[in-house]
Amino acid sequence: MTKVFCTRLLTDEDRNAALRLGLEIVCKSFIRTVPVELQDYQKTLMEEELQQPNQILLFTSKNAVRFAVEKYLQFFQEDFREKWQYYSLSGATKKELLKHINSNQIIASADNADDLIHVIKENLPENKVYFFCSNERRDTLPLFFKKHLIPFREWIIYKTVATPQKIQERFSAYLFFSPSAVDSFFSVNKIESHIPCYAIGGTTASSLKQRITNPVFASPKPVIGQLLKILSDNLKSENGILKK
């Protein structure tokens, strides 16, 4: 059984999937998310604007979906919510979103922000786009909307807090799920340069490459099952069988 370190807590389903691939995953979270309470005037503005017909909501993280629904969106009347449309990243973000809306309300989705832009370009929106995000979101989508003069409003509804901790044990590989976790991990840890690191998506992979010279592998889609499969396949190709 190969021991792998993961910088995010995994579900039992994901851990069991890893075990079936011969991977023992040790998890510790290197970031935590905290909701940001909007001021009263912001809540009033949100209520006024989202009660207009056919508004478009944008999500690029499952935490944004969770906090937006829990803190704000669930309190709108259903006849308004049913008319909203959505842009979303795929993977965990889209999966979380589909817990609360009908699939036909998603008008565009993609694996990353750059790909989402390409999809949106095919049919530029006329209505305002509302982006629910964290305090550490990338500029890619806001700059795109500004460049194309698309009405746009950003709601920062949660913040990401680093929770660094020293890891003494050595592992055969390390898994990362966000640039914030990369920064938090390497603020107090070092790993030997030959040990591979695995990232969900290109953005996290780029953050790793800025920090380390280790081999870095990224899943083509933001799906942990794909990341675990790549790790398992790499270990098999290196050794014929998984390391013991």
For the stretch 170-193, pLDDT in tens is 999 999 999 999 999 999 999 999
Q: How confident is the model at residue 236 (pLDDT cuts 50, 70, 90)?
A: confident
% of the chain exceeding 90 in pLDDT? 86
What is the structure's pLDDT at 7? 97
User: Using CA atoms, how far apart are residues 81 and 101, in angstroms rounded to an integer?
Assistant: 8
| The predicted structure's pLDDT at residue 244 | 35
Q: Given strand 2-6, what is the order of strands in its sheet?
A: 23-27, 2-6, 173-176, 197-200, 216-219
pLDDT at 239 over 80: no
- Tokens encoding 42: 């912001």
* Structure tokens, 156: 């920062």
State mean pLDDT over 108-116: 93
Q: Provide CB contacts within 8 A for 125, sequence distance 6+.
A: 56, 150
Q: Token pair for residue 177? A: 């799920």
Q: Identify the pLDDT of residue 242.
A: 40
Residues 70 and 121: their CA atoms lie apart, in Å, by 31
Indicate if the pLDDT at residue 218 is higher than 90.
yes
What pTM does this model have?
Answer: 0.87
Query: In this structure, how many other beta carbons lie within 10 angstroms of the beta carbon of residue 175?
Result: 25
Mean pLDDT of the chain: 92
**Intervals of CATH 3.40.50.10090 along the chain:** 2-30+163-239, 34-160
166: pLDDT strictly greater than 50: yes
Quote the percentage of the chain above a pLDDT of 70.
97
Tokens 């937006």 found at = 68
Q: For residues 189 and 185, what is the distance between their CA atoms, to the nearest angstrom?
A: 6
Q: What are phi and psi of 109, to 5 degrees?
A: -150, 155
**Distance between CA 204 and CA 2 in Å, rounded?**
23
Instruction: Look up residue 142 and give its two tokens.
Output: 């806001």
One CATH from 3.40.50.2300, 3.40.50.300, 3.10.20.30, 3.40.50.10090 for 2-30+163-239: 3.40.50.10090
Pairwise CA distance, residues 196 & 52, whole Å: 49
pLDDT at 238: 66
Structure-token match 């023992």, residue found: 24
pLDDT(59) > 90:
yes
Whole-number pLDDT of residue 220: 85
Return the CATH fold of 34-160.
Rossmann fold (3.40.50)
Over the stretch 26-50, which tens digit does the pLDDT of each residue have?
999 999 999 999 999 999 999 999 9
Which pLDDT value is given to residue 240?
41
